[in-house]
């Protein structure tokens, strides 16, 4: 039966025609491949395209949709939906800039979601089976399983390899909540199939996905409640940053229930979901039209027969060393199936590392990468390197310098003053060890810090980089100025004063 994605409109039909063509015929296998890639998400596609571009004979196997989570149910649709929510918010905020908008601004949610589907289909040509076939990759659509330490079977065909990479990614996990098996709930895998805006939306989990989607749906008109077991939201992030996001979510009308215990779910006769949850001394009973569960991920390793290939694994995924080798020296892994950082850009760069280490005499270490990430709320949180607590755990003494966005002229002009640039440097050296940025475009700004860290630049060096005025990025240079001024200790200033007095 041909694969379909609801709603089965022209955009989703175009998507499927590109990333899992119903008339696709698998090629005859080569005698032996330099690289067999299992999984057609970001890590797999980068591995396949990179290796083929270098002249390797490559096979790529995907059982579902090429493009993986990022294209189909992750980055592309979620950020397109967020863009619609941002646009609506900008319209509603226009009066603060002296721009009068007529009354009655409304959201056409079906049109919003149609745009999501259209952009996803348009972008999918980059990940299409046809494109990779044209790159010289043998594309196999079907279930794969290892039949030995150097062989894979796909729909009855045997692929022999010198090296292989497992890049099968992960999927949303179903947490052990009483009643969850009795209800219909959303994950990122079916959220973007919606064509009607839910009047009420419950979200279990206040991580990046939960917070992003809470804000998007609240701004588009849903009544949103977040339920989180931890004492606060975004617990992985700098807590000064997380507090700004919490305030922003509350401002958007989102109710946040933290320290949630004794969570229970049940289905109502009309299909709605009832949530029973205890927070502190209070027990709450909520009924929501739709429920989004965004708690945890589980690796896609079922059916791969990893034990047959001698590949060690556990419930967190495939086990790899710092070179991304598995316990079978012929097989590597990349992306979400083996790494703690579940980001598209990490999958991309881990695949590049695998190409070097598997096809050549490479010794590139994953631990050498500086990994930035961003949560795309409004404002955004972006981070790279160590937090203060992590630096302390490693016995690294740091000085921290903070520049509020409220002191940045461009942020004032755009009424985007919530946030800051916070940079941690090694005490006495100025070497940057980590940074957090909270700003409307923090994801764009963090790359300057990542570049500095990759090039071993100090914060003093960033203070000497000329930034255009006025820009939000100027906050980075001004944070560098704080560091430079901190070096002007009283004895140094006294010496300068005496010198300048003498030289008058």
Number of neighbours of residue 490 by Cβ within 10 angstroms: 7
Q: What is the pLDDT of residue 362?
A: 80
Closest CA to 417 of 405, 431, 430: 405
Count of C-beta atoms within a 10 Å radius of residue 344:
20
Percent of the chain whose predicted confidence (pLDDT) is above 90: 92
Whether residue 370 has pLDDT greater than 90? yes
Measured CA to CA, the distance from residue 382 to residue 441 in angstroms comes to: 9
CA angle 458, 460, 466 (to 5 degrees): 110
pLDDT value at residue 493: 64
pLDDT at 102: 86
What average pLDDT score do residues 226-251 get?
Answer: 97
Question: Is pLDDT of 215 > 70?
Answer: yes
Per the CB < 8 A criterion, the answer to whether 72 and 65 are in contact is yes
| pLDDT one-digit tens code per residue, 157-166 | 999 999 999 9
- Average pLDDT on 417-436 reads 96
Mean pLDDT calculated for residue range 442-448:
98
Does position 70 have pLDDT exceeding 90, yes or no? yes
Predicted pLDDT at 498: 76
Which sign, positive or negative, has the C-alpha torsion 41, 44, 46, 48? negative
The yes-or-no verdict on residue 500 having pLDDT over 90 is no
Q: pTM of the predicted model, to two decimals?
A: 0.95
pLDDT at 11 over 90: yes
Residues near 232 by beta carbon (within 8 Å), at least 6 away in sequence = 206, 239, 242, 243, 246, 258
Place of tokens 């052990």: 176
| 486-499 tens-digit pLDDT | 876 676 666 767 76
Q: Pick the closest to residue 89 from 248, 298, 322, 307 (CA basis).
A: 248
- Tell me if 220 sits within 8 A of 109, measured CB to CB: yes
Q: How many CB atoms lie within 10 A of CB 213?
A: 26
pLDDT value at 107 more than 90: yes
């Amino acid at each position: 039966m041909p694969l379909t994605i609801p709603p089965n409109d022209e955009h989703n039909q175009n998507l499927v025609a590109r990333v899992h063509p119903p008339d696709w015929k698998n090629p005859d296998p080569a005698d032996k491949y330099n690289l067999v890639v299992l999984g057609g998400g970001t890590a797999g596609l980068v591995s396949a395209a990179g290796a083929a571009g270098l002249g390797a004979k490559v096979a790529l196997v995907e059982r579902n949709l090429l493009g993986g989570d990022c294209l189909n149910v992750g980055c592309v649709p979620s950020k397109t939906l967020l863009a619609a929510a941002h646009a609506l918010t900008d319209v509603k905020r226009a009066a603060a800039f002296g721009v009068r908008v007529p009354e009655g601004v409304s959201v056409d949610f079906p049109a919003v979601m149609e745009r999501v589907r259209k952009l996803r289909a348009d972008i999918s040509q980059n990940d299409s089976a046809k494109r990779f076939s044209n790159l010289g990759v043998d594309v196999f659509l079907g279930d794969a399983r290892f039949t030995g330490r150097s062989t894979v079977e796909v729909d009855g065909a045997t692929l022999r390899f010198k090296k292989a990479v497992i890049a099968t990614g992960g999927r949303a996990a179903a947490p052990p909540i009483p009643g969850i098996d009795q209800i219909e709930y959303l994950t990122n895998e079916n959220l973007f199939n919606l064509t009607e805006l839910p009047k009420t939306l419950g979200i279990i989990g206040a991580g990046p996905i939960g917070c992003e989607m809470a804000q998007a749906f609240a701004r588009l008109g849903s009544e949103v409640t977040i339920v989180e077991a931890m004492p606060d939201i975004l617990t992985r992030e700098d807590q000064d940053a997380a507090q700004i996001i919490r305030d922003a979510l509350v401002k958007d009308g989102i109710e946040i229930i933290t320290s949630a215990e004794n969570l229970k779910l049940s289905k109502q006769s009309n299909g709605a979901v009832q949530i029973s949850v205890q927070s502190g001394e209070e027990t709450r009973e909520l009924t929501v039209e739709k429920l989004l569960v965004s708690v945890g991920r589980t690796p896609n390793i079922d059916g791969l027969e990893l034990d047959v290939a001698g590949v060690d694994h556990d419930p967190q995924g495939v086990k790899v060393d710092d070179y991304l080798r598995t316990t079978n020296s012929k097989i590597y892994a990349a992306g979400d199936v083996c790494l703690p950082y579940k980001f598209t850009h990490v999958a991309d760069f881990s695949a590049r590392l695998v190409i070097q280490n598997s096809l050549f005499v490479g010794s590139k270490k994953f631990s050498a990468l500086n990994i930035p990430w961003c949560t795309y709320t409004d404002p955004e949180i972006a981070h790279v390197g160590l937090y203060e607590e992590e630096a302390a755990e490693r016995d690294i003494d740091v000085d921290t310098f903070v520049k509020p966005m409220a002191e940045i002229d461009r942020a004032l002009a755009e009424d985007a003053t919530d946030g800051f640039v916070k940079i941690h440097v090694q005490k006495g050296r100025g070497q940057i060890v980590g940074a957090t940025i909270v700003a409307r475009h923090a994801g764009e700004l963090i790359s300057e810090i990542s570049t500095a860290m990759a090039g071993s630049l100090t914060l003093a060096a960033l203070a000497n980089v000329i930034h255009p005025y006025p820009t939000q990025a100027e906050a980075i240079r001004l944070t560098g100025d704080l560091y430079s001024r901190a070096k002007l200790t009283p004895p140094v200033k006294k010496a300068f004063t005496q010198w300048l007095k003498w030289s008058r």
